[in-house]
Every structure is written in structure tokens, then in C-alpha cells.
Amino acid sequence: MYHAKPIVILMGPPGSGKGTQAKHLAVLYKWKHLSTGDLLRALLQAKDSDPEELKEAQTSTAEGHLSADWLIFRLAFRAIKEALETHGGVVLDGAIRNASQAAEFEKFFRVEHLWEQVRALYLEVNEEELIRRISSRRVCESCAAIYPERVNSDICLVCGGKIVQRADDAPEVVRARFKTQGRSVQQPIIDFFAEKNILRIIEADALEDVVFRRIQEALE
């Protein structure tokens, strides 16, 4: 049975470190780290994907728009139930994009008798710090390992691949993303979970390990 296992919804603007912190939680507590981006990529790469799901994912990817809500719900809800059967908990990274989706997730959790296990965390980061952080980071083009700050070598320590800066990590691009994915845009989701009394705001303008300790304390 998967009841009583924690379910953490991790939110924050791009570059707030939510992906990194989600991975830390997954490793330390043996939770499953789920992100809708990973679920969509897995759907596109699998050889036995549901035709309807695959068509929607291919269309949204080709046209450059967000996938339909029904697909996100189907992929996420299925993955959550599967993960709770095999892991000690689940951490959701970037799974909810608006308040109506948050309401649908709540409905799912209540139907599955999981709502009491859900906690939502929002990583608060100053805009200028966010821009500095993202424009400083580098990634491995082979294994996608993230290097938070500029590194002296262009060789990945994980796989030996080449470390590069992504085009969308340029400062001007980051500023544009902040306007469409920052606190003001996510405020309705924050308000939704705050009204349910399951939200904690985490001050994330700190070193990675300090932020992780704050997350741990918030979940105690």
C-alpha cells in the first residue's frame, strides 16, 4: 500500500533550484522525482506509448506550446500511483502550471485518499539573484548534469562530456522567462495551496545545502 507516504509539490521560478532540490530529496529519502518534462520525454521515446497520448505530445512539441491538461493529468497521476508502490514518497517538480490544474490535482489526491500526505513548497528567489544564478550555470550536453556556477573546465565530471551554456540561459532570455514563469504568474497556485494550509515558502537565496536544510525543516 502507498498510503502515508509523503507527496511534496515543489514550486519556484526557473533557476530557483527546484530540480536540484527535488533530486536531493529523492536520493536522501528514496523518493521518486517526477517532472512533467521527463514524463513527456519518456512518452515520446517509448516504443509502446498510447497513440492518443503520443499524438498530443508530438503535436505540442512540434508547435512549441504546452501539452493539453488532460495529457499532463494522465501522465502525472499514473506516474504518482506507480511511484508510491515502489518508492518511499514522491516529489513533484514543475507539475502544476495554474490554479485550475492545482484543483484537479487536489481532486485526484482526495479520490485516492492521499490528500493528507501532500505538502507544497515554493522556493522564493530574488529576481536579480535568479538571473545571476541561471546565467552562471553550465550543463553537460551529453548527460545534462548541471554545474550551478562557472567552472574552470569544459569537461563534465560525471560522464566526460562537454560543458556548455544553454542559449536560453542568457541574461536577457532569463528576464523574459521570469515575466512569464515568475512569482506573479505562479501567485494563483501559491494562493491555492496557502488556502489549503499545506504551503510553506522557502527562502532560496542561499547556498544549495542551506536551502536543502530549510526544505527538510519545513517538511518535519
Residue found by looking up cell 517532472 in the block: 35
Measured distance CA(26)–CA(33) in Å, rounded: 6
How many CA atoms does the CB half-sphere of 90 hold within 13 Å? 27
Residue 39: all three cell numbers together: 514524463
Separation between Cα atoms, residue 163 and residue 145, nearest integer Å: 9
**Which residue ranges make up the annotated binding site for ATP?**
15-20, 137, 146-147, 206
Binding residues for Zn(2+): 140, 143, 156, 159
Instruction: Cite the annotated binding site by residue number.
Output: 15-20, 36, 41, 101, 137, 140, 143, 146-147, 156, 159, 166, 177, 206
Q: What distance lies between CA 68 and its chain's CA centroid? A: 18
3-class secondary structure, 89:
coil
How far CA 155 is from CA of 137, 140, 199, in Å, comes to 14, 8, 39
Specify the residue for cell string 512539441. Answer: 61
Cell reading at 75: 501522465
The length of the chain is 220
- Binding residues for AMP are 36, 41, 101, 166, 177
Distance CA 122, CA 72 (A): 20
